[in-house]
Amino acid sequence: MVSRASPGDAPMPRAMCGRCRRPQSVCYCAALPRLETRTRVVILQHPRERDMPIGTARMASLCLPSSELHVGVRWDDAAILGANPILLYPGPGARDILREPPVGPVTLVVVDGTWSQAKGVVRDNPLLRALPRYAFATPEPSQYRIRREPDEKYVSTIEALMHVLGALEGDAARFRPLLDPLTAMVDAQLRCQEERPSHRIKKPKVERPPRVPPELVARAGDLVCVIAEANAWPYRDGEPSPPDELIQIAAERVATGERFVGHAAPRALSPSTLFHTELDAAQLTGTPDALRAAFAAWSRPTDIPCVWGHYGAELIGLGPRLDLRAAAQRLENRRLGALEHYAPTVDPARGRGLRRLAMHVAIVRAWRALLG
């Protein structure tokens, strides 16, 4: 009796070729040539490339029976490199191997991996860095159409070996068959991609906010950069701290340069407040509520407060506002911390609050310039 798999059963594993390690349906072994070389070829493969189904290092080792394929990232044994080793790797000081091939038999050392991986292997191995370095500009476009290279001048490992062995052994035509298995693999892969049904579910397009807030141009006259300073007590584990109190508001209209600067006295001054805010105790007079009222009187109904994060805005009690830190994170595509790290500008005005205000203004003006 032959049992049949039900629709819910897991799919049967595909039959694999033990030589090229590809599914038998896309095996390229029939296209593999056998090319003997006078040049000893040593391929040092990054471990992450070992199981890449479309990698060409193993393909090259199958075509070149006298070649050696080693997997790893640390190479301390000079015996692996053999006699007269040279390194095929671009960079400062590399000679063009197609125009100036070395004289005499050499061991050709090739690092296989992504360009980032290969760079790390060469950088971290003094044994490789000490080798004479060679490179070349490819005389023809790459046939590796299923893998994007960072530059059109770059080629796959097997293509590099085709060009370089032809130069070292003076017979470029003899090594052209190295392209046969590459072409077979690429064609099979592209054919499978065309035949494979697409099961992707199209997700509704989500409108992302613009990288730079459009208000910076559309309502330039309403932009007001606002900074708030607080009397903040040190936090101690297990001990309650007094609430933070508003002691300074500094604001500037970006379009006109008009400023508001006001202060308030806390109920009890924290020992670190004057150090962090760079203010004098004599400046701190009045109450936080009176300071908020004075700022509200200076403000206009159409103002768009520009703040860095939520802390200062909540100290003042601001309503709708433009968060410059959130906009900066979208613009830079990374998380940001303190304002001073993003806008290291120095304002001659005294005190941290006014200096930070100048940083706000500088950011807004720079972004407005981006929008024209």
pLDDT digits (tens, 9 = 90+) for 109-155: 999 988 888 989 999 999 999 999 999 988 888 887 766 655 566 78
Distance (Å, rounded) from C-alpha 88 to C-alpha 101? 11
Q: How is residue 163 written in tokens?
A: 């060009």
Report for 77-86, 329-338, 361-370: range of highest mean pLDDT? 77-86
3-state DSSP assignment of residue 209: coil
Distances (CA, A) of 286 to 47, 251, 267, 293, 294: 68, 18, 11, 11, 11
Range of weakest confidence among 62-76, 227-241, 334-348 = 334-348
Q: Which residues of 68-89 are buried (b: 16+ CB within 10 A; e: fewer)?
A: ebeeeeebeeeebbbeebbbbb
Q: Which residues of 25-36 are buried (b: 16+ CB within 10 A; e: fewer)?
A: ebbbeebbeebe
State the pLDDT confidence band at 360, using cuts at 50, 70 and 90: confident
Decide if pLDDT at 93 tops 80. Answer: yes
Structure confidence at residue 85 (pLDDT):
95
State the pLDDT confidence band at 364, using cuts at 50, 70 and 90: confident
Structure confidence at residue 236 (pLDDT):
64
- What is the arithmetic mean of pLDDT over 202-223? 78
- What is the arithmetic mean of pLDDT over 213-219? 85
DSSP characters for 238-261? TB--PPPEEEEEEEEETTT--EEE
Decide if pLDDT at 207 tops 80. Answer: no
| Distance, C-alpha 353 to centroid of its chain | 34
What are 41's strand-pairing partners?
Answer: 108
State the pLDDT confidence band at 258, using cuts at 50, 70 and 90: very high
The residue behind tokens 């080798």 is 131
Where is pLDDT greater, at 97 or 236?
97
Structure confidence at residue 238 (pLDDT):
57
β-pairing verdict for 85-88 and 133-135: parallel
Domain 215-370, CATH class in plain words:
alpha beta
Sequence ranges of the domains in the chain: 24-191, 215-370
- What is the arithmetic mean of pLDDT over 192-214? 70
- What is the arithmetic mean of pLDDT over 281-303? 94
> Does an H or E element contain 95, and which?
strand 95-96
- What is the arithmetic mean of pLDDT over 94-123? 91
Decide if pLDDT at 8 tops 80. Answer: no
Give, as one character, the DSSP assignment of residue 176.
G
State the pLDDT confidence band at 12, using cuts at 50, 70 and 90: low
Distance (Å, rounded) from C-alpha 116 to C-alpha 168? 27
Structure confidence at residue 29 (pLDDT):
92
- What is the arithmetic mean of pLDDT over 258-277? 92
State the pLDDT confidence band at 102, using cuts at 50, 70 and 90: very high
- What is the arithmetic mean of pLDDT over 357-371? 80
pLDDT digits (tens, 9 = 90+) for 218-232: 898 999 999 999 998
The residue behind tokens 């075509």 is 63
